[in-house]
A and B are shown apart, each in its own frame.
Chain A
Amino acid sequence: MKTAKLLAATAFVAASGLNVSQAQAEDLTLCWAAWDPANALVELSKEFEAQSGHTMKFEFVPWPNFADRMLNELNSGGKLCDLLIGDSQWIGGGAENGHYVKLNDFFDKEGISMDDFAPATVYAYSTWPKGTPNYYALPAMGDANGWFYRKDWFAKPEIQEAFKAEHGRDLTPPKTQMELLQVAKFFQGREIDGQKRYGAAIFTERGSEGITMGATSAMYPFGFKYEMTPGKYDMEGAVNSPDAVAGLEFYKELYKTSTPPGYTDSYMEQSLDAFKSGQVAMAMNWFAFFPGLYADPDTGGDKIGFFVNPGQLKEASTLGGQGISVVAYSDKQDAALEYIKWFAQPSVQKKWWDLGGYSCHVSVLNDPNFADSAPFAADFLLAMDGVMDFWQEPAYAELLLAMQKRLHDYVVADQGTAKEALDKLIEDWTETFEDEGKL
C-alpha cells in the first residue's frame, strides 16, 4: 500500500514537473446569466480546459436576479467570480469603482487588437469613459432586442385575406412601429386553429430592467434621446421631447391593446413562454434566444420568422449584450486573463457563433457567408448598426431604477401621463447626476 501511494505521489510530482512552463492549474469561476448562450459557453470552454489545464466552474444567475446579485457581489468585494460577463451598463461602475481590471496593457502585450471587434460592440461593451481607448472588457456577446413572429400564421390564406380586407395591404413582418401595432392589434383576440391568440409579447417587468428595455425599443425609433448634447447631461427636451412622449404613449397602447391578459410583469422568460405556448403572433426578445427559438421542435423551424426592431422616425434597437471582464478581487487574475486571450482567438470566436453565441469579432461578422449562416444573422447585423444603450454611468443602477419605476407606474399601473412620467424621470435623474457631481 505504502509503495503504491509513494509511486502515485512520484508520478504526480513528475507529471506536474513536466508542466513547469505552464502556470499553475487553477479553478476559474466564470459568472454570467443563466440562459441559452451560457450553456453554449460551457461547451466552448471545454476546449480551454483541455488546452490550459485550468478547470472552469460556472455561476449562472437567472436574469431577474443577475444584476442584483452580481453588483452586490462586486460591491462587497467578493471573490466568487474570476471572470464576469457583466451587462454593458455596468462598465462605468466596474471601471470607476475598480471592480474590473483594466485590460489595455494586457491587450498590448498579447497583441489583441480592439480593431478586430465590431466598433459598435467595442464602444458599448469595453470602453470607459465611453469611446476612449480605455478597455475594461473584451466584447463577448453581441446582442440587441429583436422580434420574432409565427411565420405559419402569417402565411395562412384566410389570415392574409382578413388582414388585407381590414388594412388594405398584405400582411408582412412590420417595417415600422405603427405597422407593428397594427399587426399586433389584428391578431389580438383572433381565433387561429381553434384557440384564442394575442398580438404581441413585450417586456413589462418591474423588478430588474424589463420595462425599460422593452419601452426604449419603441421610444428610440420615435426619437427618444438621453441628452441634447452627448456628455452634457442636458436631458430637458431630449428625454421628454414630444417624440419621446409619443414613443412612450405608443408603448402603452401596444401594451393595452395587444398583449395577452395578465401580462403585467413579463420579461425574457415570459416572452419565450407566450410564444412557445402559441399565445402570441409576435414577441420581442434578445437575439441571444433566437438560435434556441429556431431549434425549438414545436414553434421553431419554418414556423418562426425573425425581424429587426422596426424603425419609426429612425432605425434603432435597444442594445443588449455583454463584455467579459476580469474581476479585480480575484486571486487568479493571470489564469483569467489566459481565458480572455484564448477567447479572443478568431477560431474560437467562429466556434462561439456556431454554438449559438453572438461573436463580436469582425472575422466572423464580415465573413461573406455570415448573413446566410442563420435566418436571423442578417437581422443581427442590421440591429447592431443602430443600437442605442441605456446610461452606462457608474450610477447606472440608480438611473435604471428610476426609469423602471416611472415607466411601470405609467404603462402598467396607469398613473399620470407619459409627459408627467418623463418629466419626473428627468427630476430623478437630475438628482442623481447632482449627487454625482456631474451637474
Chain B
Amino acid sequence: MSDTSIDRVAKATPPSVAAKIRGLSDRAIAWIFVLPTIFLLLAVNIFPLIWTINLSFTNFRANRPNREVDYIGLRNYERILTDEDIWLTMQATAHFLFWTILLQVLIGFTLAWLINRKFKGNDLWTTLIVLPMMLSPAVVGNFWTFLYQPQIGLFNYGISFLTGIDPSSFQMIGDVKLAPWSIVIVDTWMWTPFVMLICLAGLRSIPDYIYEAAEIDRASQWRQFWTITIPMVLPFLMLAVLFRGIENFKMFDLVVQLTGGGPGSVTELTSINLKREAFEKWRTGYASAYAIILFVTVFGLASIYVKALNKVKER
C-alpha cells in the first residue's frame, strides 16, 4: 500500500539509528504506560504485604494505638498452628471446598454436555443460567436467608412439595447438621454456571474430525465419551477447579450473610474467622500472621496445581 513511504523512510535513515530511536522511544513509552499500574500495585498490594509480614511478628493491635508494640518472633504463628479452633475452621473450609467443587463440576459438566447437544435456543438458556454468578454474593446471600426460612421460605416449601416433609420441621441455616450444606447449596447454585461455561468452551474446542475418526473405528458412544471427550475437556475442567478453589478459599461475603459462621462455629470459614480476629477482636499482629499463613497456603497449593495442569495440557 505505501511502498513508496517505506522505501523513503528506509533510505533516509541508516538502519542502526532508526532502530535506536524507535527502540528508545518505545522503551520510554513502555515504561510510561506500565509504571502507573506498577506503582498502584506496589502501593496497594506489595507495600501492604510487606507491612503485613512485619506486623505478623508483633503483638500490635490496631484498636490500641497507645500501647507499646513488641516484636514477639514467631509466637503468633505458633499460636495459630496449635489452635484447635482454627483447625476446626480449616475443616469447615475443606468441607465447603470439597463439596462445592465436586457438585459444581458434576452439574456444570453435565449441563455443558447437554447444551452442547446444540438444541434450539441453547444460547438463550445458557445466558439465563449464567445470571446468578454475576450478582452480588452479599445481596443474594442475604436474600437466601429468607428463602431458607422454615415454613415461609421458598426452599423449605419446595423440599416439602417434593418430599412431603413438613416445611417447618427443618432449618437449613440454624441446624448444626444442615448449615454446612446450606452454604454448599447456595454456592453451587451461584457458581455452577461458571464451571458450565468453561466446560462448554472445552467441549466446543474438540474438533469434529476426532469424533468422525472414532466413528469410523466403530468406537461406541460410551467409549468416545471416555477416550475423547473427557481427556480433551480435562484441562478446561482443571482450570475451572483452580478458579473455584481459589475463590472459595477466599469465600467471605456469601457465607457471612447467610450464616454468619453459625450455628456455633460450624460454618465459620477461614475468611470469617480471620475477620473476627482482625476486625472484631482487633488482634492485628495475630491476624497478620494468619493472613500470611493463608496466603502461603493458597499460593503453594495453586502453584502445585498449576504444575499438574500444565502436565495435563502437554499430553
Chain A residues near B (Cβ < 8 Å): 68, 71-72, 74-75, 93, 96-98, 206-207, 261-265, 394, 397-398, 401, 405, 408-409, 412-415, 435
Contact = CB atoms under 8 A, between A and B. Distances in A.
Contacts of B169: 261
B165 to A, nearest CB: 13
A395 B311 CA distance: 51
A262 B66 contact: no
A405 B282 contact: no
B280 interface: yes
Contacts of A435: 59, 283
23 contacts: A68-B279, A72-B279, A74-B63, A75-B62, A75-B63, A75-B282, A96-B66, A97-B64, A97-B66, A206-B263, A207-B261, A261-B150, A262-B150, A262-B174, A265-B263, A397-B63, A397-B280, A398-B282, A401-B280, A405-B85, A412-B262, A412-B263, A435-B283
A98 B261 CA distance: 32
The SS class assigned to the B binding surface is loop
Given A261-B168, A414-B176, A71 B63 contact: yes
B281 A397 contact: yes
B279 A206 contact: no
A145 to B, nearest CB: 21
A74 B282 CA distance: 12
Nearest to A74: B63
Contacts of A394: 63-64
B276 interface: yes
A206 to B, nearest CB: 4
> How big is chain B's contact interface, by range?
20 to 34
A414 B265 CA distance: 11
A17 B262 CA distance: 59
Nearest to B175: A264
A97 B63 contact: yes
Contact of B281 (A74, A261, A401, A412): A401
Interface string B166-199: 0011010111100000000000000000000000
Given A261-B168, A435-B59, A98 B263 contact: no
Interface in B79-122: 85
Nearest to A263: B174
A383 B260 CA distance: 32
Contacts of B264: 206, 405, 408-409, 412-413, 415
A400 to B, nearest CB: 9
A392 to B, nearest CB: 15
B15 interface: no
Given A397-B281, A398-B282, A401-B276, A97 B65 contact: yes
